[in-house]
Amino acid sequence: MSDTSSLDALIQALRRLPGIGQKSAQRMAFHLLQHDRAGAQLLSQALAQASSHVRHCVRCHTFTEGELCEVCQDPGRDTARLCVVETPADQAAMERTGAFKGLYFVLMGRLSPLDGVGPRDIGVQELLERAGDGVVQEVILATSFTAEGEATAHALAEALKRRGVRVTRLARGVPVGSELEYVDLGTIAHALADRR
């Protein structure tokens, strides 16, 4: 057995993170082992704890340690508004704005036929059931503005509208504080088309 098999295993494990290649993983592993062994232990313990305790909320699918997440348990939330996001990270971003006081449905992905991700994989049927519960009055589609995010939003909008649910989509446009001459043409075109 090689003297560096544990080191190699650590590097390969770090490479599983998005955006981390061989060199970045190697740099992280060397840093942790050379300069921050206490940090390596904390990271190891936190990963073990999270992987054994964190699960999906039974109602919205975000990450939680309980059966229901804090948002779903909050009696002060607007139950008539349901915001559909792709990931728990997207939900966290929406929450940081402080602008949305409704509830969420986390798809845990987006439609991607080329990758074999279909409606069942992202919980479309569960979303349709939840949106049609008689309590939800508006579904806000907050998927990304990539080709797959747009396709997902379109498919969801069509399915929800067939069930008589009011559907809206996040607006897109010129970022706050930006100068128009530096904004890409696609963003300007969408801002003009979506003006109010």
Distance CA 73, CA 59 (A): 10
pLDDT of residue 185: 85
pLDDT of residue 3: 62
Output the CA angle 111-113-118, nearest 5 degrees: 50
pLDDT of residue 4: 67
What is the 8-class DSSP label of residue 181? G
Q: What does the DSSP assignment read for 74-127?
A: -TTSEEEEEEEESSHHHHHHHHHHT---EEEEE-SS--BGGGTB-GGGGTHHHH
Residue numbers in the chain where pLDDT is lower than 50? 1
pLDDT of residue 1: 46
Residue 141, both tokens: 């589609």
pLDDT of residue 2: 56
- Domain 79-169, what fold? Dna Topoisomerase Vi A Subunit; Chain: A, domain 2 (3.40.1360)
Per-residue model confidence as pLDDT tens digits over 80-101:
999 999 999 999 999 999 999 9
pTM of the model: 0.82
CA distances to 12, 15, 53, 128 from 2, in Å: 15, 20, 34, 53
Length of the chain in residues, anyone? Answer: 196
pLDDT of residue 192: 80
Distance CA 16, CA 24 (A): 11
Per-residue model confidence as pLDDT tens digits over 33-62:
999 999 999 999 999 999 999 999 999 999
